Structure 1
């Protein structure tokens, strides 16, 4: 795999410029690590005696310690035309919109000489002039048309086939890029020593410009726009089940189950149907209650408080939290039934609890179960009815590609998962901390939080710290940090505060940034399936960035 600067492109750019995005990925995948590839390079050359200044900006520069340097200009578009009479170039994009484009061969050739001049300004190269560099280092250029296999019309004289690549050349890029450089070599005795030196010196000079990352807060803003677009697409699934009164919707983490559940509840209640939107978890239940606050015909929340409300708070807790006793109490009480019941995170409910909810549905009412069998961290067994139509949501839309790749190894349900959405940042896996050393864990947490708040410009509300341990066993309640507020294991997060919670309590929710720690939960370490479920739930809560702090007794079994 080639060394790329930057290592990845934002999806917003890839979507905007498909040609460059496509070639970037092909170069990264097909070239070996002898190649260094720079994308979107700009340099500012100083004028030399007797010549004017040459500034340059090119799509790609590829350097190789043996073959030399190659300037690449990319032109995307499903149709490319050249008019020899007017010398005008046009490109037609995927939406069949025609655009005038600059002569790519003029661009590539001009950028070659601009780069040569810029090289004379590099440390250790001041004694070389343009001609000396040209005679000692093989420098070529080419034009790549990523989406077409021919040009309509006659190519201009300067457009040689030897340095023109079409889409079919992109299947063997390494071979064809070397071929282009061999064409420019013309059996000249270039200096291998200087070629290797410039290969290294360009990396020293230009790489820092490209590895400077954007603030994470800016990435989050851009990625949110993409996820919103994908969410609107996902809502079309509801059209699919519009006339299906009962359905079992199985979806992987990040597939939009909760968004679909809330949208379905809103649609149902707006049609004057008495609707219940219910889950098991308290935090998600509080989110549902806020969602339903100003909506008529919609009751929402988590299971036990909802049931308690039906008894106006008179139900004893010994009955409320005893499934058999609760069923008897419900079945003997007259309760207004629902036209539609939507159960989110249905895998968390016991068989009797689901039976109670079904009892509260009108005879011809609608009921929808949203669930994920890979999140069985509350109930060990599944009680989803098997006699209703199943639907599968197998595409992750919430998490970035890097987070999805960290979650996927912990998925074992046998369904092929897909991903659509932004690429994001690489998952950060820190060095392991001593599982018995609270001070070391807290020091690591403070360091990561400081980087997020100070360096990345993130806000406390963007960050959630998730532990795999229970509230009683977690050390995190003692965490303090100067000028930083924490909300510990509460259903609502205080303003301008970082939330700290267990993965069991936070399941069904999401956060822009998640720091996962205290992975050495005794129950999950003793049960491989539960271990994967716990990792799967914890890591998939992160939308934009995931930081994992492993412990010394989990690092060997940890699957990033």
Structure 2
């Protein structure tokens, strides 16, 4: 079966799986297909990544009108003696039901911020297709009703129905519409995680063949407790930040890996989830999420005073109250130019040793596009990354005039940069037309293209964020399954093969130069500029005056 294909070749439930399962899981899937009705959905091997867990669910069954079942499958001859579980003589670290319960709670934690309603009645069960459990008694951690053995396979759906009818009665069963929404979001997240797995392998390979310049820097940084690395677009800052955080964690240090933008934070979560547990940072995500995870109250997204001043100040107070074990030996910050001086004070307060603790900061001063000033608390001059490993030559030349520091571009060639000269208020329609034309050409797929705006957000972006939330929105980007609609402010550290840059105005004209620099440099191969070219030249010329 092709990747994430829905099996619709015969009547019966919809089945989502990357590859047809084998062994015990195939036996279970065959019975589920034969017994469940057409409106049910079966997902095999669903991956979920949250800040607290990275799990793979054997089977997730979504049954409209009945409920949701997280089903763990265990092959071999399963036995329980004195509370210890084993399969075919090999001890199990956790019982199958405990694994299913972990998957259930990971699913509920994952889905909660993505839906305006609760997903519906959800239970966990285990299936042991090669074990006769007819003589099993109830165990403290394994009620007999929740474990389906070999002798009960013919009534697997009936057993699930019974558990759903007799448990979690305070929850309503999911409607067909709720099931459809959950499935859409699950498969999008699954694709994002699978793409991150491939990207993590690529990153590991890149770490083994970095340029000579980066190899020297990594060698120096190995023994440096504090350092700032500064470089232009595509210079490898984010990859170096990931590698450095992983090295520090592997050395036994308690590490925080943080940034400011949601998209980059989700990228960190997806990438680090592919690493061994011992090599993962203790905290991964947004600067503001750390004090919130420590108990700071959330004041809503539309209160700048809270985010800029009150929460960082509260962060320092919370850090002073924490047990020292909860603080960090090392902190790695990407896109550090986004941090204000007040934020840096809060960051230092989270180190076990604020004066000598490890701090690495990755910056590009030309990407300082927020009205916020700050300098990383590092005394040494920044290490400079002078190579561009992302952009094709044509793209790099298009935004090169916006930077004071030339880069060595490692990707020759590229498609000519296209300019569509229209007034700012007509830029969105022209950008939509450009996306449609690119897709009709047959040279580009939807997942190759990002449409980025500079002022008002695209209706597609607003619709997804307002109805499904930021988590679904960013997993949509990382699933690489559709055209991405975003704003230049939220796309730092990210890229796509093609960027249609919709320059539809500027909230702060003084930041026009920096916003153009960021947006244009997101394109790897092809860049389409849409906007009032004369006005753009005028704004950037004003920005150059002392």
Please state which band the TM-score falls in when normalised by the shorter chain. Answer: 0.5 to 0.7
How far apart, in 2, do the equivalents of 1:489 and 1:531 lie? 29
| Counterpart position of 1:533 | 514
How far apart, in 2, do the equivalents of 1:479 and 1:359 lie? 38
Q: Residues 380 and 411 (structure 1 numbering): CA distance in 2 closer, same or farther, change over 3 Å?
A: farther
Alignment match of 1:381 (pick from 373, 384, 388) = 373
| Counterpart position of 2:415 | 425
How far apart, in 2, do the equivalents of 1:462 and 1:428 lie? 16
After TM superposition, give the deviation of residue 559 of structure 1 in Å.
7.5
Q: Deviations over 1:417-467 (max 9, x none)?
A: 32222321121112x1233347xx42x334322332232432212111111
After TM superposition, give the deviation of residue 489 of structure 1 in Å.
9.9
How far apart, in 2, do the equivalents of 1:379 and 1:478 lie? 23
1:329 aligns to 2:318 (yes or no): yes
Is the Cα contact below 8 Å between 1:467 and 1:517 reproduced in 2?
Answer: yes
Q: Residues 410 and 230 (structure 1 numbering): CA distance in 2 closer, same or farther, change over 3 Å?
A: farther
| Counterpart position of 1:18 | none
After TM superposition, give the deviation of residue 547 of structure 1 in Å.
0.9
What SS does structure 2 have at the residue aligned with 1:354? Answer: helix
Q: Residues 330 and 357 (structure 1 numbering): CA distance in 2 closer, same or farther, change over 3 Å?
A: same
Alignment match of 1:510 (pick from 495, 515, 532) = 495
Q: Deviations over 1:520-554 (max 9, x none)?
A: 21412xx2xx2110110110111121111122662
After TM superposition, give the deviation of residue 242 of structure 1 in Å.
1.0
Q: Residues 422 and 559 (structure 1 numbering): CA distance in 2 closer, same or farther, change over 3 Å?
A: farther
What SS does structure 1 have at the residue aligned with 2:440? Answer: helix
Alignment match of 2:227 (pick from 209, 224, 247) = 247
How far apart, in 1, do the equivalents of 2:244 and 2:330 lie? 10
What SS does structure 1 have at the residue aligned with 2:289? Answer: helix
Is the Cα contact below 8 Å between 1:427 and 1:547 reproduced in 2?
Answer: yes
Is the Cα contact below 8 Å between 1:488 and 1:500 reproduced in 2?
Answer: no
After TM superposition, give the deviation of residue 235 of structure 1 in Å.
4.5
Q: Deviations over 1:48-106 (max 9, x none)?
A: xxxxxxxxxxxxxxxxxxxxxxxxxxxxxxxxxxxxxxxxxxxxxxxxxxxxxxxxxxx
After TM superposition, give the deviation of residue 302 of structure 1 in Å.
1.2
How far apart, in 2, do the equivalents of 1:342 and 1:488 lie? 23
Q: Return the TM-score normalized by structure 2.
A: 0.53
Alignment of 1:294-373 (within 5 A): 294=274, 295-296=277-278, 297-298=280-281, 299-311=283-295, 322=310, 323-334=312-323, 336-363=326-353, 364-373=356-365
Alignment match of 1:455 (pick from 441, 454, 465) = 441
Q: Deviations over 1:321-361 (max 9, x none)?
A: 62334433333343512222111000101112111111222
What SS does structure 2 have at the residue aligned with 1:362? Answer: coil
1:466 aligns to 2:446 (yes or no): no
| Counterpart position of 2:44 | none
What SS does structure 2 have at the residue aligned with 1:554? Answer: helix
How far apart, in 2, do the equivalents of 1:552 and 1:404 lie? 18
Q: Deviations over 1:204-223 (max 9, x none)?
A: xxxxxxxxxxxxxxxxxxxx
How far apart, in 2, do the equivalents of 1:462 and 1:342 lie? 30
Q: Deviations over 1:455-488 (max 9, x none)?
A: 24322121111111154xx5665899xxxxxx99
| Counterpart position of 1:192 | none
How far apart, in 2, do the equivalents of 1:522 and 1:418 lie? 32
Alignment of 1:207-246 (within 5 A): 232-233=210-211, 235-236=214-215, 237-246=217-226
Aligned-pair Cα RMSD in Å: 3.3
Q: Residues 446 and 273 (structure 1 numbering): CA distance in 2 closer, same or farther, change over 3 Å?
A: same
Is the Cα contact below 8 Å between 1:489 and 1:500 reproduced in 2?
Answer: no
Q: Deviations over 1:376-416 (max 9, x none)?
A: 1124423222513521112212111111111111113xx34
1:523 aligns to 2:508 (yes or no): yes
Q: Residues 544 and 558 (structure 1 numbering): CA distance in 2 closer, same or farther, change over 3 Å?
A: farther
| Counterpart position of 1:492 | 475
| Counterpart position of 2:162 | none
Q: Return the TM-score normalized by structure 1.
A: 0.51
1:390 aligns to 2:382 (yes or no): yes
How far apart, in 1, do the equivalents of 2:381 and 2:462 lie? 48
Q: Residues 488 and 241 (structure 1 numbering): CA distance in 2 closer, same or farther, change over 3 Å?
A: closer
Is the Cα contact below 8 Å between 1:338 and 1:362 reproduced in 2?
Answer: yes
Is the Cα contact below 8 Å between 1:395 and 1:418 reproduced in 2?
Answer: yes
1:547 aligns to 2:528 (yes or no): yes
Larger Rg over CA atoms: 1
Is the Cα contact below 8 Å between 1:347 and 1:379 reproduced in 2?
Answer: no
What SS does structure 2 have at the residue aligned with 1:425? Answer: coil
Q: How many residues align?
A: 317
How far apart, in 1, do the equivalents of 2:209 and 2:491 lie? 21
Is the Cα contact below 8 Å between 2:225 and 2:357 reproduced in 1?
Answer: yes
Structure 1 consecutive aligned stretches of length 4 or more whose deviation exceeds 6 Å:
none
How far apart, in 1, do the equivalents of 2:376 and 2:367 lie? 13
How far apart, in 2, do the equivalents of 1:488 and 1:546 lie? 27
What SS does structure 2 have at the residue aligned with 1:392? Answer: strand
What SS does structure 1 have at the residue aligned with 2:323? Answer: coil
Is the Cα contact below 8 Å between 1:282 and 1:505 reproduced in 2?
Answer: yes
How far apart, in 1, do the equivalents of 2:384 and 2:268 lie? 23
Is the Cα contact below 8 Å between 2:313 and 2:346 reproduced in 1?
Answer: no
